[in-house]
Amino acid sequence: MEMISKSKSFGGEQRVYRHKSTVTGTDMDFAVFLPREALDGFVCPALFFLSGLTCTWENVTTKGLPQLHAAKHGMIFIAPDTSPRGEKVADNESYAIGKGAGFYINATQDPWASHYKMEDYIANELRTLVIDALPVDEDAIGITGHSMGGHGALTLAMKYPGKFHSVSAFAPIVNPAAVPWGQTVFELYLGEDQEPWKQHDACMLVLAKGWDGDILIDQGTADQFLEEQLTPWAFEAACRKAGVDLTLRMQGGYDHSYHFVSSFLADHMAWHADRLD
Ligand SMILES: N[C@@H](CCC(=O)N[C@@H](CSC=O)C(=O)NCC(=O)O)C(=O)O
């Protein structure tokens, strides 16, 4: 992989890498913050942050201030892109379909199936790449994310429990099979048969697979997508039924923006640090 930028930050380094992904068949960029401990050669816990619709690695890296908290906890912070990109990659004029909207699943339908393999990319290829190339402790890897990325964090954690050891989310899409953003994309990427959709829906996955740990979710009460797309109460009910320990914090007056994410990122990173220690 090729380092395309490097900046000193909070005693550590904020880097951006580019690599050729055999999974997506494209070049993929991702950002990594390495705390001072990692630069000194110590193996560190790591946290993946999966971003939402329209984002790249850059949104959380520049708006979330993860470096401050990652430096405090000696934690590596990894921010992948949200989809494959490039001229040959299928797209759609809607911001919620195509580039910037990979949904962290493996598409099975044309024209999406040739490059939209974000589940394999995150859980297998990128995870292995950062373990091999950086001082990441493979037994201490957490995952979190915002909105579409919150859906990705919850579903990948439950699908790959040995690979991700703690999970939290910010305003996640918890029931994509039942809301417009998810239904539109699942129909295009996975097909009209709704049976396979169940494997990619956090509410259904928690009932089918559970989660051997606790889960933290923050959700703003003034979020413009709360009622139509996010519906955290559906996941709360499913966790209760599955016996999974969920803390859902409804944060008064917060919207869906990175002002919300950055307000609670410190809490999430401390929470992951506790569990990955
Ligand atoms: N452009 C859209 C809204 C898109 C949006 O709000 N994207 C969110 C994630 S939404 C769920 O995955 C986001 O993180 N945006 C990037 C940012 O830096 O804020 C619209 O017009 O409604």
ipTM of the complex: 0.94
- 256 Cα to the center of ligand 1, angstroms: 8
Nearest by Cα to 10 from 75, 80, 79, 81: 75
Rounded average pLDDT over 103-126? 98
Atom of ligand 1 nearest to the CA of 53: 12
Question: For position 192, which CATH number holds?
Answer: 3.40.50.1820
What per-residue confidence (pLDDT) applies to 145? 98
Alpha carbon nearest to ligand 1 atom 7, residue: 53
185, containing H or E segment? helix 180-190
How many Å lie between the centroid of ligand 1 and the Cα of residue 62?
15
Give the total number of structural domains in the chain: 1
Instruction: Output the average pLDDT for the chain.
Output: 98
Catalytic: 166?
Answer: no
Percentage of residues in the chain having pLDDT higher than 70: 100
- Active-site choice (21, 51, 147, 166): 147
Q: Are 85 and 98 in contact (CB under 8 A)?
A: no
| Ligand 1, pocket residues at CB < 6 Å | 52-55, 59, 63, 95, 146-148, 256-258
Between the CA of 248 and the centroid of ligand 1 the distance, in Å, is 22
Average pLDDT over residues 34-43: 98
pLDDT, tens digit, for every residue of 195-227? 999 999 999 999 999 999 999 999 999 999 999
pLDDT of residue 104: 98
- What pLDDT score does 54 carry? 98
Give, for ligand 1, the residue of 51, 55, 92 to mutate: max count of ligand atoms closer than 8 Å to Cβ: 55
Q: What crossing angle do the helices spanning 66-73 and 258-276 adopt, rounded to 10°?
A: 10
**What does the alpha-carbon distance between residue 269 and residue 233 come to, in Å, rounded to a whole number?**
23
pLDDT (0 to 100) of residue 42: 98
Q: Distance from first CA to last CA of the chain, Å, rounded?
A: 28
Q: Which atom of ligand 1 is nearest to the CA of 59?
A: 18
Q: Which of 29, 201, 218, 223 is catalytic?
A: 223
- The tens digit of pLDDT for each residue in 47-106 reads 999 999 999 999 999 999 999 999 999 999 999 999 999 999 999 999 999 999 999 999
Full residue range of the structural domain in which residue 129 is found: 2-276
Gyration radius (Cα) of the chain, Å: 17
Residue 224 Cα to ligand 1 middle (Å): 10
**256 is an active site residue:** yes
Residue 223 annotated among the catalytic residues of the structure? yes
- Determine the pLDDT at residue 60: 98
pLDDT at 193: 98
